[in-house]
């Protein structure tokens, strides 16, 4: 049984797509009791509505604390305002909560995962107030760490809509893939970055070129673990020469790798003598670099590739010929461009049918425009 299972349910509830929904814990808990047939005593599904339950008192309702769920459309879902409230309680609001410190760490991990889910759901960076430790608290832990570089399988996409100022210089992808061996026979295991991400903000993980500490080229805006690996979203400093160069090289595919720089406590790694592999169970992430030659042969960058027409070309065409508004043409141009890129990425595909279809669409729009 893992620590996370000790007093915190394994289940991650779907989060309600309504961050403004009011939260009343008493009425919500009553609805959960009815929904889970727990009017007399807690059932096995009742615990999923809470972030903590006392295993020694699991047969009594008083053993369940930190509720986050309600019943909406006949489903048990996590309520954003309930998650916010629990995060506040763990920081000491309303007198805090009296649970063991070990369990409090597990609850904190769960809360941070919900914040990551809400960031994607609401398309904004919703930073957990529990996620980061002050830098001074990290110093003692890092004294025995060794510094290493691990270059990993990377999937990276650069945004190229230069008319949208907010997207200029941005990219996203994976800086590490779990269970993947590099040429140094190191393998990063799932959960290796969890503690590091709890104490270090994304912008404090440096974005470098080729691991050169004298060449910062931007900042990371989001870094999180998912089931595949370490997913990052960054923004290059286009006001600097190096940042601008990196962005152009990235879009062209000349930069095709990501590499992490980290510190690792030797006591928390496992070495397999027979396979001659080291398994990295816990690392402290220091920097992520854009690199030209990744150590891992599989490390490649997937980016938005250029086509005969850019997004800006399609936007202008749809606005001028299709008679769409500026906002409509921006949305439509991205959809058309991305569809073409996805289709052309299959190198062995026959694209003649797609070309013919697009010509027909263009002719129809042009004809209708002329008639009007």
Let me know the angle formed at the C-alpha of 134 by 133 and 137, rounded to the nearest 5 degrees: 85
Q: Give dist(CA 305, CA 239) in Å, integer.
A: 23
Give me the catalytic one of 38, 176, 196, 259.
Answer: 259
For the purposes of burial, counting CB atoms within 10 Å of the CB of 23, is it exposed (0-12), middle (13-18) or buried (19 or more)?
A: middle
Phi, psi of 207 (to 5 degrees): -100, 115
Annotated active-site residue 287? The verdict is: yes
Q: Which residue is listed with tokens 């510190």? A: 263
Annotated active-site residue 211? The verdict is: yes
Q: Which residue is listed with tokens 């939260």? A: 23
Q: Give dist(CA 314, CA 137) in Å, integer.
A: 52
Q: Which long-range contacts (CB under 8 A, 24 or more apart) does 139-148 make?
A: 141/265, 141/284, 142/263, 142/284, 144/265, 144/266, 144/267, 145/263, 145/264, 145/265, 145/284, 146/263, 146/264, 146/265, 146/266, 147/261, 147/262, 147/263, 147/286, 148/186, 148/261, 148/262, 148/263, 148/264
Which ranges constitute the DSSP H helices of the chain? 3-7, 25-35, 80-90, 101-121, 139-142, 194-199, 241-252, 311-320, 326-344, 352-371
Q: Give dist(CA 220, CA 201) in Å, integer.
A: 9
Q: Is 151 helix (H, G, I), strand (E, B) or coil?
A: strand
Task: Please answer whether residues 174 and 229 qualify as being in contact, where contact means their C-beta atoms are separated by less than 8 angstroms.
Answer: yes
Task: Please answer whether residues 58 and 44 qualify as being in contact, where contact means their C-beta atoms are separated by less than 8 angstroms.
Answer: no
Give me the catalytic one of 25, 211, 245, 248.
Answer: 211
Distances in whole angstroms, Cα of residue 321 to Cα of each of 19, 26, 163, 297, 366: 40, 58, 19, 46, 6
Distances in whole angstroms, Cα of residue 7 to Cα of each of 33, 51, 59, 103: 19, 8, 14, 6
Q: Give dist(CA 169, CA 158) in Å, integer.
A: 8
Annotated active-site residue 119? The verdict is: no
Give me the catalytic one of 155, 225, 287, 315.
Answer: 287
Q: Which residues are catalytic?
A: 211, 259, 287
């Amino acid at each position: 049984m893992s620590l996370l299972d000790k007093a915190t349910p394994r289940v991650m509830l779907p989060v309600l797509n309504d961050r403004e929904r009011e939260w009343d814990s008493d009425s919500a808990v009553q609805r959960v009791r009815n929904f889970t047939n727990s009017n007399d005593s807690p059932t096995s599904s009742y615990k999923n509505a809470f972030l903590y339950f006392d295993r020694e008192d699991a047969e009594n309702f008083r053993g369940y604390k930190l509720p986050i769920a309600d019943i909406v459309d006949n489903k048990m879902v996590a309520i954003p305002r309930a998650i916010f409230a629990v995060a506040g309680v763990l920081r000491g609001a309303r007198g805090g909560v009296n649970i063991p410190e070990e369990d409090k760490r597990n609850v904190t991990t769960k809360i941070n995962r919900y914040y990551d889910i809400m960031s994607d759901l609401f398309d904004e960076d919703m930073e957990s107030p529990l996620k980061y430790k002050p830098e001074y608290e990290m110093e003692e832990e890092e004294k025995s760490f060794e510094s290493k570089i691990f270059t990993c399988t990377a999937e990276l996409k650069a945004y190229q809509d230069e008319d949208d100022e907010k997207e200029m210089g941005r990219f996203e992808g994976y800086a590490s893939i779990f269970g993947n061996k590099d040429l140094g026979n190191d393998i990063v295991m799932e959960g290796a970055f969890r503690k590091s991400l709890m104490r270090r903000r994304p912008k404090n993980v440096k974005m470098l070129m080729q691991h050169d500490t004298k060449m910062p080229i931007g900042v990371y805006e989001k870094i999180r673990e998912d089931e595949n690996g370490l997913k990052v979203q960054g923004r290059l400093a286009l006001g600097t020469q190096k940042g601008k160069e990196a962005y152009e090289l990235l879009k062209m595919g000349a930069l095709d790798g990501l590499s992490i720089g980290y510190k690792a406590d030797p006591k928390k790694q496992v070495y397999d003598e027979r396979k001659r592999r080291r398994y990295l169970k816990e690392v402290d992430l220091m920097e992520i670099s854009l690199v030209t030659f990744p150590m891992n042969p599989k490390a490649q960058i997937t980016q938005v590739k250029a086509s005969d027409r850019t997004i800006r070309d399609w936007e202008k065409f749809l606005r001028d010929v299709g008679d769409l508004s500026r906002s409509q043409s921006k949305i439509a141009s991205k959809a058309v461009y991305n569809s073409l890129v996805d289709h052309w990425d299959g190198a062995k595909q026959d694209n003649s049918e797609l070309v013919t279809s697009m010509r027909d669409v263009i002719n129809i729009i042009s004809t209708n425009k002329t008639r009007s």
